[in-house]
Amino acid sequence: MTPEEQRAALATALTDAGSLPAEWAPAFNSVPRHAFLPDTIWTDEGDEDPECSRSEEPERWMRLAYSDLPIITQWDDGADDGTRSTPTSSASMPTVVAEMLSDLDAEPGHRVLEIGTGTGYNAALLAHRLGAEMVSTVEVDAQVSARARTALRGAGYAPEVVCGDGSLGWGVRAPYDRIMSTVSLRDIPAAWLAQTRPGGVIVSPVSPLFGGGAIVRLTVDGEGAASGRFTRSSAFMVLRQQRYEGEPVEDYLPGDWPGDSEQSWTKLDPEAAIGDDWPAQFACALTLPDVYYRRNGFGEDGWTWWLFDTAVTSWATVDSVPGESRFEVRQSGPRNLWDEVEAAWRWWDDQGRPGFDRFGLTAGREGHTAWLDSPENPVPRQG
């Protein structure tokens, strides 16, 4: 198939799946996704090599460009040292792009700010439907920003492309009717609330520290706050200004493990109950916003869960051993972190194990409050 036929086939598939609203179909049928991708891309399509070069595999490269797959376009903030450890820029999965645009509910006449230009493809879709003069897009990485600007012009679109700190928004053209982030957040920046008109909408991925990210759709009030529900699960790269790098284990432990920890036992297997369940992770994350975990494998598929608080005061370990009915716990510090995680999980279980769409978020000057079903029912905080 030609690129045009592949583009049309992708749009049809998204429409048939219920992901692409009719009003966005013309943009998906017109904007060439492949024009926004670099020569070398990476994606997971099963047994195939994740790396694909257009110059070496042109047919596969074009097929991937119009597949419903996320495509990595940069590693390690562009560091050119021959290693690849962390993806830092990408072209989002087309299904997710379409569904987030549906959540955004932008209409002709709306002024839109996009945070995270990336390849420029999403900005082109916005410009196609709303007009380039109504779209501004901010990208922190100068190389990524320049490449996106070139791709946009080459495809015939000219939204305002700004290289800058997306956490600050872009006050030059505020207020906006819509703000859309294609990078994930720990907290909604105050600048976004201030730059959105009352009644306007902010759509963004949220990635709590503990895990289980989701898309939130917030409506801004006239008093500097915004509230709304999570709409679906998500996995996006975190806004650079909100990345969190945990402290070394040595900063928590007074010497070798088990240090001064106290031993106990639990019947809740963290691997089975939390590790494989994104809604469970999400509920624990909302309940424990300052706790994170790491996992180390041992033996026959066993895992040690390490829990830490961001204040670097407490830690815990839990050994998840297949086939066991109880699991060893070690806890140290003023907080019993495993007890808190288990209490968070049991709260979620008692509520009927709600999915993402039953949770919501209110963001304002006083901070962020997660809630279940309504703002009047805040998620209980542990710790």
- Name the residues annotated as catalytic: 92
**DSSP category for residue 120:** S
Question: Residue 51 and residue 63: Cα distance in Å, rounded?
Answer: 13
* Paired strand residues for 286: none
Q: Are 138 and 170 in contact (CB under 8 A)?
A: yes
Q: State how far the alpha carbon of 22 is from the alpha carbons of 11, 99, 177, 215, 351, in Å.
A: 10, 12, 21, 21, 36
Specify the pairing of strand 135-139 against strand 112-115.
parallel
Q: Are 155 and 36 in contact (CB under 8 A)?
A: yes
Question: Residue 159 and residue 153: Cα distance in Å, rounded?
Answer: 9
Question: Residue 112 and residue 203: Cα distance in Å, rounded?
Answer: 11
Please tell me the total number of residues recorded for the chain in this structure: 383
Specify the pairing of strand 262-266 against strand 291-298.
unpaired
Q: State how far the alpha carbon of 222 is from the alpha carbons of 110, 114, 203, 378, in Å.
A: 18, 21, 18, 22
**DSSP category for residue 77:** G
Helices 94-104, 121-130: crossing angle, 10 deg rounding: 40
| 44 three-class SS | coil
Q: Are 220 and 201 in contact (CB under 8 A)?
A: yes
Q: How many CB atoms lie within 10 A of CB 130?
A: 21
Q: Are 209 and 291 in contact (CB under 8 A)?
A: yes
